[in-house]
Amino acid sequence: MTTLILALAVGAVLFGIGLYGALSQTNLVMILMGVEVMLGGAMVNLVAFWRFLHPEAYSGQMFVLIVMTVMALEMAVGFSIATGRFRAKGSVEMEEAQDLKG
């Protein structure tokens, strides 16, 4: 029971740190890193639930595999959007991205 509570606590704190990072940073690359930390916290929770409550149901591990895939994919798309924006405007600061036009 203690290990389960420990793992869930670590997941909760990682989620909080990631949320702070995703909301407070101005640069697109740093926002992406905040989202990565949040997804890491979610994965820790998933694995803890799988291991301690339902080790016979492998759909838990399948969920973690899909979350890992999504982490990689959203980073790829985020960086390609950053590339496009950098070519158009010269910076990826989100404070400057306040107009829909151009």
Partner 1 sequence: MLQAIFTAFFGLAAIWFAVVVFRTHSMVRSALALLFSQAAIGGMFLAMQTEFLGVLQIMMMATEMAIMTIFMVMYMMDPGGLGAMEMTHQKRASQVAGALGALAALAVAFFTSWGPITPEVRPAQQVHDLGIEIMERSMLIFETAGVTILTVMVAATAIAIMRRDEE
Range 1-40, binding partner 1 (CB under 8 A)? 1-21, 23-30, 32-34, 36-37, 40
Our measurement of the distance from residue 20's CA atom to the centroid of its chain's CA atoms, rounded to an integer in Å, reads 12
| Distance, first Cα to last Cα, the chain | 55
8-state DSSP, 56: T
Among 88, 89, 91, 98, binds partner 1 (CB under 8 A): 91
Query: In terms of CB distance, is 23 or 100 closer to partner 1?
Result: 23
| Closest listed residue to residue 30, CA positions, set 99, 86, 82 | 82
Range 46-85, binding partner 1 (CB under 8 A)? 47-48, 50-55, 58-59, 61-62, 64-66, 68-69, 71-73, 75-77, 79-84
Q: How far is the CB of 60 from partner 1 (least distance, A)?
A: 9
Give the number of residues in contact with partner 1, rule: CB under 8 A: 71
Query: In terms of CB distance, is 90 or 100 closer to partner 1?
Result: 90
Give CA–CA dist 25/94, Å, rounded: 9
Angstrom CA distances, 45 to 27, 35, 79, 88, 102, stand at: 28, 16, 27, 40, 41
Residue 92 binds partner 1, judged by CB under 8 A: yes
